[in-house]
Each structure stands twice: as structure tokens, then as C-alpha cells.
């Protein structure tokens, strides 16, 4: 019998794979400056697409007008806060860096401890005993870490410029995605079906749910709490309100909440004797702090429920890996991966036996190596 099968041309297959790999790497290298901006734009568009469709219906079905309104909203939400952040960092970081660079990092005297009722004198005496016994030695050990921390913050300040560039790219890509969103979504789903048939299409839809859950349930909640908390700080007369607002947004993103910033601000207002504005900020802080329990469940139900540990890891890891833009990209990447992994695991039946029963069954069958 004659074998009609043709021999496999291994060199041809290897060269084909090599050529495709080189082309893919070259394309990724070319578009590398735009990847983060496009990913950010995709996250924003997926999360706000229902709002854009609703605006289009209200504006007589005109897509152009709806896209224009969405661009104005994105500028108010991203460009103006980032501009205020950059201006505040430039105004406030210079004196601090100069103070540390000149070696003025000495232990404070803390005279205000004497004014604390009952225990103030003891605290002041204990602090000065610590300074006399080894305060200089303690500062000598802490100073290298201060320098390293300052260097890290200066490096992160350099990421602010990149954040501005990515923000501009995000606006441009968002306008394009809003304008041709249906075609882009159809193309992505078509590509996913080409890769993995119906399983690929389901993966794309699940990824969209995860992105919307993170964007709405975490980022929107953090922005709302930070903006309202920052308004309260500015009205109450707390200094460095812009920087504190940014810190508050970071604390909200990592699930610590806005009270990490608001409570010390309230204490400072009462300490300086401004009890009226301290009380106002106290009431306002209660409202802002409770927003988390009201807004987030509603928004997360619009997407997909995700573990908070996953969000925390994505925020911190994204900040380290991608800089400030990683605050938005990191949680989204982990959320999409977790959602796809969870669905893949749930395709298999859950264990029906307890742990002890499963171990006994394995022992009765014996190890495959012993057979």
C-alpha cells in the first residue's frame, strides 16, 4: 500500500513561526507607546458605554453630539484633576525636597505635647529622654531611608508627565472608540471566535463585565469620595487640600477609605481652635465615609463581583509596574484574568467527597508509581 501522506516540512514551519513572531514583536514595539493609553481608553469606554448610548438617545440620535458630551465629561473628570495635581506637586514638593537635601532632618522638639491634658507632661519628658539617650543615633539610622524614600517620590513625580501624555492619548482613543464602538467590539469578538470558537466569544464578554465592575465599583467610587472629600477640605481651610485629595483617592483605591485623611484633618482643625469648620468637616466626613457602603454595591452589581484583595493587589502592583496610570490598569488586568480563570475552573464539577474520603479512596487505589 502506498502512503500518500506528504512529509512534514519542518524548516518551513519553523521559518513561518519565526516570521510571524518577528512581525508580531515588531508591531508591538511600534505601538508600545500607545498601549497603556489605549488600554485606559478601552476601560473608560467599556465602563461608560451605556451612558453614551443614553446620551445619544437624548440628543436626537446624533452620535457626534453624544461623543462631544462624553469628551467634555472626561476632560472634567481627568484633565482638570491631573492639572491641579501637577500644579500642587510643583508648588509644594520643592520646599520639602530642599529641606531634606540641606540636611535639616533633625528630630522635632514637640513642645505641643505639654498642652495635652493629664499625660502631656509625661509624653514630653519621655520624648526628650529618648532624644538625649539616642535620638541622634535613631536619626542616623532613619536618614538613609528618608533619602531612598525621597528618591522614590522624585522618580514617581517623573511619571506625572507620562500620566499627562497617556491621559491625552486616552482622550483621543476614547473619542475613536465612542465613534466606532460597535464595529470595534464586533471585530474583537470575531477575532476571539477565530481563536477559540464560542469559548473565545464568552471570554471577551466576561472580560467586559470584569472591566466594568472594576471601573464602576472601585475607580468611580474612589473618585467620588476623593472629590467630595477634597471639596470639604478646601472649604474648611485645611492646607494642601489638593495633595491631601490625591492621597485620599489613593487610600480609597487601596480600600482604606477617605477617613485616613479626613480624620487627621478634623483633629487638626479642632487643635487650631477652628471648632466650627471642624464640626462641619466632621459631619461632611460621615457622609463621604458612608458613600462607600451605598455606591459600591450598586455599581458592582452592574458589572461582576470581584474579591477586594484582588483589587488591592492590582492597585499596588499596577502603581509599581506602570506608575500612576497603573492605578487604573493594574486592577483591570487582574480582574479580567481572575474572571476568566474562575469561569474556566467552574466548567469542571466541584469535588463531591470530603477531604478525608478522597484521601482514603486514593490510598485504596494505591499510588500509580507502585503499580
Confidence of residue 65 (pLDDT cuts 50, 70, 90): very high
Do 35 and 164 meet the contact criterion of CB atoms below 8 Å apart?
A: no
Closest to 86 in 3D by CA, of 157, 166, 154, 171: 157
Select the more confidently predicted residue: 139 or 311: 311
Do 26 and 188 meet the contact criterion of CB atoms below 8 Å apart?
A: no
pLDDT at residue 25, rounded to an integer: 94
Q: Alpha-carbon distance 22 to 16, whole Å?
A: 10
The answer to whether the predicted template modeling score (pTM) of the entire model surpasses 0.85 is no
Q: What is the mean pLDDT of the chain?
A: 77
What is the Cα Rg of the chain in Å?
Answer: 28
pLDDT at residue 97, rounded to an integer: 55
Unique residue bearing C-alpha cell 474520603: 357
Average pLDDT over residues 157-186: 83
pLDDT at residue 113, rounded to an integer: 66
Amino acid at each position: 500500500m502506498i502512503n500518500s501522506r506528504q512529509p512534514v516540512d519542518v524548516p518551513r514551519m519553523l521559518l513561518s513561526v519565526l516570521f510571524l513572531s518577528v512581525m508580531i514583536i515588531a508591531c508591538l514595539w511600534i505601538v508600545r507607546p500607545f498601549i497603556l493609553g489605549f488600554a485606559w481608553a478601552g476601560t473608560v469606554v467599556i465602563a461608560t458605554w451605556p451612558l453614551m448610548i443614553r446620551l445619544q438617545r437624548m440628543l436626537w440620535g446624533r452620535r457626534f453630539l453624544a461623543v462631544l458630551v462624553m469628551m467634555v465629561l472626561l476632560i472634567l473628570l481627568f484633565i482638570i484633576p491631573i492639572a491641579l495635581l501637577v500644579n500642587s506637586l510643583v508648588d509644594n514638593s520643592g520646599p520639602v525636597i530642599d529641606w531634606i537635601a540641606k540636611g535639616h532632618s533633625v528630630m522635632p522638639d514637640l513642645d505641643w505635647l505639654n498642652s495635652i491634658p493629664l499625660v502631656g507632661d509625661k509624653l514630653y519628658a519621655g520624648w526628650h529622654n529618648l532624644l538625649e539617650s539616642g535620638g541622634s543615633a535613631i536619626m542616623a539610622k532613619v536618614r538613609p531611608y528618608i533619602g531612598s524614600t525621597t528618591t522614590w517620590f522624585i522618580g514617581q513625580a517623573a511619571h506625572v508627565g507620562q500620566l499627562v501624555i497617556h491621559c491625552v492619548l486616552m482622550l483621543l482613543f476614547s473619542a475613536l472608540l465612542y465613534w466606532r464602538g460597535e464595529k470595534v467590539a464586533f471585530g474583537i469578538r470575531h477575532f476571539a471566535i477565530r481563536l477559540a470558537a464560542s469559548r473565545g466569544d464568552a471570554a471577551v464578554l466576561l472580560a467586559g463585565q470584569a472591566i466594568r465592575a472594576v471601573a464602576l465599583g472601585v475607580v468611580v467610587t474612589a473618585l467620588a469620595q476623593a472629590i467630595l472629600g477634597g471639596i470639604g477640605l478646601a472649604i474648611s481651610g485645611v492646607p494642601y487640600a489638593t495633595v491631601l485629595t490625591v492621597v485620599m483617592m489613593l487610600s480609597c483605591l487601596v480600600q482604606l477609605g477617605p477617613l485616613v485623611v479626613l480624620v487627621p484633618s478634623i483633629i487638626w482643625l479642632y487643635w487650631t481652635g477652628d471648632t466650627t469648620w471642624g464640626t462641619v468637616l466632621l459631619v461632611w466626613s460621615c457622609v463621604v465615609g458612608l458613600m462607600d457602603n451605598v455606591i459600591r454595591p450598586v455599581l458592582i452589581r452592574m458589572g461582576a463581583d470581584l474579591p477586594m484583595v484582588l483589587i488591592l493587589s492590582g492597585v499596588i502592583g499596577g502603581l509599581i509596574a506602570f506608575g500612576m496610570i497603573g492605578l487604573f490598569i493594574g486592577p483591570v488586568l487582574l480582574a479580567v484574568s481572575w474572571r476568566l480563570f474562575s469561569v474556566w475552573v467552574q466548567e469542571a464539577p466541584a469535588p463531591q467527597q470530603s477531604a478525608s474520603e478522597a484521601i482514603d479512596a486514593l490510598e485504596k487505589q494505591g499510588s500509580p508509581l507502585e503499580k
